Structure 1
Amino acid sequence: MSPETKMDTQKTPMDFKFLARLGEGAYSQVFRCKEVGTNATFAIKVLEKEHLMKHQKMGAIIREKKILEYMTKDLGGHPFISSLYSNFEDRDRIYFVLNIAEAGDLKESLHHFHRFDLATVKFLSSEILSGLSFLHTHQIVHRDMKPENVLIKKDGHIVIADFGSAKTTKFGEEEEEEIQKTSSEDSDENNSKDGYEQEKEQERRTTFVGTALYISPEMLKDGEVGAKSDIWALGCMIYEFLAGKPPFTGINAYQQTRKVHENNIVFDNDFPESARILIKDMMIFEFQISDPKLRITTDQLMAHQFYKDVNWKTITNTTPTVPLSKYSLYREREEILDDDDVQPGFDLARLIKLNDGFPLSPSMELDLKDLFAAIAPVAVPQPKLNARARAEREAALAVQLHDNEYHLLLDGYLVIKQGILHKKRGFFARKRMFLLTDGPQLVYVDPSNKEARGRVPLTPCMTIEYVNKKLFNIHTPGRTYILYDYNKTAEEWCRAIEDVRVKYAAQIKKIYDKGMEEGNFHEIYGKIRPNRVSF
């Protein structure tokens, strides 16, 4: 980076104690920290320079930093927008010190509550709308509005976060040229990649920004993104808050984007009429017109009948409709270990401890060409469970009950294969015990405390991809599980999972079809969340 675009160096990692990991994005991780001396608590977003350079994202990070500085220092900030306290860098990393939101994000809350009542939706969406009005008034477009980018603060109010995709017209030509220059330098450093990897990198760069579930038709059509795209995303979020599922769902991104193109939103009979009218005004037009120029603006939304009871001047004093004590995520995050023994600073040892795993070193990066290697499916006939087979299974379960410390987590199913795998997510791979059962299930457990962490969805459309002895991938709707096996038995895992998929194909299809029909398949599978509660 040039001197003009370097981060501030007034502070360093030694000015903070890094206490807990709060979350992660595609290019960053966020940690709960305390400032040495003041004991003030912050969220610090940490970005690895090597990772940013590899994926040509340094220019985007500089833009994010400039937008955060502009909003915080030049505009004085906004109560519902992330504030930048400080930013600095060392040899390997860039650090953004931000105001902390202690109660998680709205995605986590949706998993916890399943859906919100109308009063809560009005409260949440009005604060989001107030934040968007601030952004749009100052020519800033967020471009990636979604529930996980709306955080909940300790006072129960929200804050819009993650400006990694944001853009603004407020920067002068020289500033934008400098950002573009940095991106070009990233590109020059990546010219050493072979042709295949460069082609895949270009494919990733030309893909639309945002998330398919909340992306607007104009973004799919020509990539043009403006303030109206944020309005579309907010409409999708309001629908999800009330229905418990996004308006455009499908087994993959293609089906989701096709539904967005068709502008086909279905409302259940019990969907509140006032919210139905609001969403139609935000997203749906006669003859399926999706021209963003015709879409409602933030100012028009604030004057909408749906928000007639909202006092926009005193909105920050509104009492939250959900008591903070009901957010279990807040209670979990308050249970931070005593920081007296935590030393200031951020190094590899601290990073490993915070992530409950280990970092993936550059030597472990794989040639992308290898990702096309796959094993052939192994067909297994459907079993006939006769009296003898049932007796054998019961005997095996009795042994499992006695000998297998994970038995009580498996709902009475018999383990077919188990072993330690490292599940990669973001920069790190987490150590997990994986158990494949005749449920059929593929459960993963934290071996340090014997707690189930989630289930990999077994679906008719899943694929198992063998890469090498230490690595295989499981491709499911909406996610790819990247799994490292340092016992070099990746091929055994692939064949065992494929055997189960074929053997229990009818049962897997029945569960999948039922879940997709009811719209709760992704709630049943994936990372385990707290039990839902009503309010």
Structure 2
Amino acid sequence: MAVVYSGASLASASQPLPTLSEEDSIGSSSTTEKRTAATSSSYVEGGAEKSSAGYVRNDAVYWGTLRSETTEPHTVRKKRSISQVAMTQMMKSGRQPAQRTAEDFFFMRTLGEGAFSTVYLAQEVSSGKEYAIKVVNKDLIRRHDKVKSVMREKDVMTSITHLHGGHPFFVSLYCTFQDPTRLYFAMTYARNGDLLQCLQRLGSFDDEVTLFYSAEIVCALDFLHRCGIIHRDLKPENILLNDNRHIMLSDFGTAKFLNPEDNFGARDKDVLPRSEENHHRSRSTFVGTAQYVSPEVLVDGDVGPSCDYWALGAIVFQMVSGMPPFRSLNDYHTFQKIQKLDYSFPEGFPELPKDLVQKFLITDPRKRLGSVEMGGVEMVRSHPYFATIDWDNLSLKTPPELKPYLPASSGEPAFHSDYQIPLIEPGLDDAALTRLMGLNLKDFVPLSAHISSVDSNRTGEDERVRKLSIQRQAHKYHRFVDDHLILKSGLLDKKKGLFARRRMFLLTEGPHIYYVDPVNMELKGKIPFSRRLRTEAKNFRTFFVHTPNRTYYLFDPERNALDWCNAIEALRERYLDELPDEPESPCTKSGKQKR
């Protein structure tokens, strides 16, 4: 029996996918040509032999073709697929399936890229509506044995969207189609990105945001499991945010149907997310998901719905603290920590979410909160952490605002920021200075005093050359600053949620802000300068550096936060005409951001 979400109606744009007759032949070139003429669909070139592959418009043709390659070589499997069931229900209701081609969309820009696919923002020509279209390379998925993964994602999305009525906390499948070399999924466009991007920008979430999104994920998992599906790759990157900042679960390439009869695309044992089919655990090729995989996946691959609750526990931990609970230099050691339950809570982790995480991160899946043996989702909902949640109306609530937040730690209070980076205007009068700083520093040293001090210290080129010559010989951090003159330096704690790392910060001409690991003497990264960079002092020790893509949370044990803010702002003003409007992505010399 289909599980239908009563609060979500099937929009006319979301249509089941057309199918081919169960007995259709797919082998010969002439059959392909006739079907092409009849349906205006394109077909895949399968090696030397043509195979029918109408992946939307006549999508089931292609999927039947791929499935038959592993079973009957020249006949589509007679057992009805999910697309065929959806098509039957569609026709009974009197609705017609949406038939689209690439020419029906304007492809606007790239949203993301993977090994076998690219996701584009596209606008439908006829309606003006925006969709995220995932474009899959046919040849690549054949050569790399990823056909089952692609089929599985299509089957799961069809099941959720069409057989079970859809749900507001899931990406909806609008349509699918194909051309001779590519497959296309047209899906809901997540205008506000994903939770991973938000965590990277903000570091961690405040209590209200963490609670709200944790509850929405619980609702989404409840619906998914009642549909007979487990996700198996739940992580912040796969939790998208819609126009109103509610969640939408996505990426079902490794999902599993609990009923084997529904599992058209894959066998039960190909479980490890994002790894090769024939892998060794020490050599598994996880891409960003190792931190969220449950112990039972690593032991025998026999997983149930509780594996998704393990992942939720890791996500809650990360939303609160800023980092996932299981971290290591490589995936193998991360797996070892997961199997040994080797993690700890940082100082300041609140008690209620801590208790919830501890009940999710249980090695035995039968004893894990959310498992059937432990009372299922009702026991999750009844946890004290969720005491204030109105489960019946959660999708109708306005999500709390996502804004910079530094949790209380090390004797410092929690800090929020309502600061918005303004558009700059020419001129440097008193009003502009107030706008540029964006600070409420009435009780502190005025900015103008520090700018005058900086200006008075700017001597001629000869003096600059002399200072740089001395710096080259005597300053042990000179090798990290690309031969720029250091204007200010000092040890600061670079915070991310409840975690902090002490770094040597170097403010130089250029302008640049470098930060270095003072123990290992390793450059960890740079804060990207742009016209829109701003500082915000919270007190004498804590200050924020806002960039368009990220907020940096810094703590000065010497209580010189204001000096840092003023020096950074003065340097930005000095180079204002040379700075880009938007910064380049922060990176190290190796090209990846480090802490």
Tell me, yes or no, whether TM beats 0.5.
yes
Query: Matches of residues 36-75 of structure 1 in structure 2 within 5 Å?
Result: 36-75=125-164
Among residues 99, 111, 114, which one is paired with 1:22 in the alignment? 111
d(CA) in 1 for partners of 2:526 and 2:401? 33
Judged with a 3 Å threshold, the aligned counterparts in structure 2 of structure 1 residues 5 and 16 are, in CA distance, closer, same or farther, namely: closer
Contact 2:286 2:331 in 1 (8 A): no
Judged with a 3 Å threshold, the aligned counterparts in structure 2 of structure 1 residues 439 and 222 are, in CA distance, closer, same or farther, namely: closer
Say whether residues 1:219 and 2:297 are aligned partners. Answer: yes
Residue 249 of structure 1 aligns to a residue whose secondary structure is: coil
Contact 2:105 2:123 in 1 (8 A): yes
d(CA) in 2 for partners of 1:113 and 1:444? 14
d(CA) in 2 for partners of 1:239 and 1:64? 28
Residue 453 of structure 1 aligns to a residue whose secondary structure is: coil
Query: Matches of residues 482-521 of structure 1 in structure 2 within 5 Å?
Result: none
Give the letter aligned to residue 343 of structure 2: I
Say whether residues 1:256 and 2:334 are aligned partners. Answer: yes
Contact 2:513 2:527 in 1 (8 A): no
Query: Matches of residues 367-406 of structure 1 in structure 2 within 5 Å?
Result: 390=473, 397=483
d(CA) in 2 for partners of 1:439 and 1:280? 35
Which ranges of structure 2 fall in alignment gaps of 5 or more residues? 1-43, 45-50, 59-98, 271-275, 371-376, 406-416, 422-467, 486-507, 516-520, 531-579
Give the letter aligned to residue 77 of structure 1: G
Query: Which residue is 2:250 aligned to?
Result: 161
Residue 127 of structure 1 aligns to a residue whose secondary structure is: helix
Residue 248 of structure 2 aligns to a residue whose secondary structure is: strand
Query: Which residue is 2:232 aligned to?
Result: 143
C-alpha displacement of 1:387: 5.7
Contact 1:156 1:324 in 2 (8 A): no
Query: Which residue is 2:585 aligned to?
Result: 453
d(CA) in 1 for partners of 2:204 and 2:348? 13
1:305-356 per-position Cα deviation (integer Å, ceiling 9, x unaligned): 2112212211111121116999x9xx99xxxxxxxxxxxxxxxxxxxxxxxx
Residue 164 of structure 1 aligns to a residue whose secondary structure is: coil
Judged with a 3 Å threshold, the aligned counterparts in structure 2 of structure 1 residues 4 and 28 are, in CA distance, closer, same or farther, namely: closer
d(CA) in 2 for partners of 1:239 and 1:325? 18
Query: Which residue is 1:310 aligned to?
Result: 389
Query: Which residue is 2:181 aligned to?
Result: 92
C-alpha displacement of 1:262: 1.3
Residue 408 of structure 1 aligns to a residue whose secondary structure is: coil
C-alpha displacement of 1:439: 8.1
Contact 1:106 1:150 in 2 (8 A): yes
Give the letter aligned to residue 408 of structure 1: G
d(CA) in 2 for partners of 1:36 and 1:219? 44
Among residues 195, 200, 204, which one is paired with 1:106 in the alignment? 195
Greater shift, 101-110 or 309-318, is seen at 309-318
Which ranges of structure 1 fall in alignment gaps of 5 or more residues? 184-199, 285-289, 333-384, 400-405, 414-437, 458-473, 475-480, 482-521, 526-535
Q: TM-score, normalised by structure 1?
A: 0.58
d(CA) in 2 for partners of 1:318 and 1:104? 19
Q: Which has the higher helix share?
A: 1
Higher relative contact order (CA 8 A, sep 6+): 1
C-alpha displacement of 1:440: 4.9
d(CA) in 1 for partners of 2:525 and 2:320? 31
Contact 1:139 1:168 in 2 (8 A): yes
Query: Which residue is 2:380 aligned to?
Result: 301
Contact 1:144 1:166 in 2 (8 A): yes
Query: Which residue is 1:292 aligned to?
Result: 365
d(CA) in 1 for partners of 2:115 and 2:333? 23
d(CA) in 1 for partners of 2:514 and 2:378? 56
Query: Which residue is 1:237 aligned to?
Result: 315
Aligned residues: 354
1:187-223 per-position Cα deviation (integer Å, ceiling 9, x unaligned): xxxxxxxxxxxxx873389948781111111111112
Residue 59 of structure 1 aligns to a residue whose secondary structure is: helix
d(CA) in 1 for partners of 2:300 and 2:187? 33
Among residues 275, 278, 293, which one is paired with 1:202 in the alignment? 278
Say whether residues 1:130 and 2:215 are aligned partners. Answer: no
Contact 1:16 1:33 in 2 (8 A): yes
Give the letter aligned to residue 313 of structure 2: G
Query: Which residue is 2:550 aligned to?
Result: none
Query: Which residue is 2:25 aligned to?
Result: none
Contact 1:216 1:229 in 2 (8 A): yes
d(CA) in 2 for partners of 1:160 and 1:316? 14
Contact 1:133 1:299 in 2 (8 A): no
Query: Which residue is 1:408 aligned to?
Result: 510
d(CA) in 2 for partners of 1:83 and 1:305? 32
Give the letter aligned to residue 510 of structure 2: L
Query: Matches of residues 309-388 of structure 1 in structure 2 within 5 Å?
Result: 309-322=388-401
Give the letter aligned to residue 319 of structure 1: T
C-alpha displacement of 1:18: 0.9
d(CA) in 2 for partners of 1:267 and 1:319? 30
Query: Which residue is 2:84 aligned to?
Result: none
C-alpha displacement of 1:456: 3.7
Judged with a 3 Å threshold, the aligned counterparts in structure 2 of structure 1 residues 13 and 276 are, in CA distance, closer, same or farther, namely: same
Greater shift, 157-166 or 250-259, is seen at 250-259
d(CA) in 2 for partners of 1:397 and 1:388? 9
d(CA) in 1 for partners of 2:285 and 2:314? 17
d(CA) in 2 for partners of 1:208 and 1:220? 13
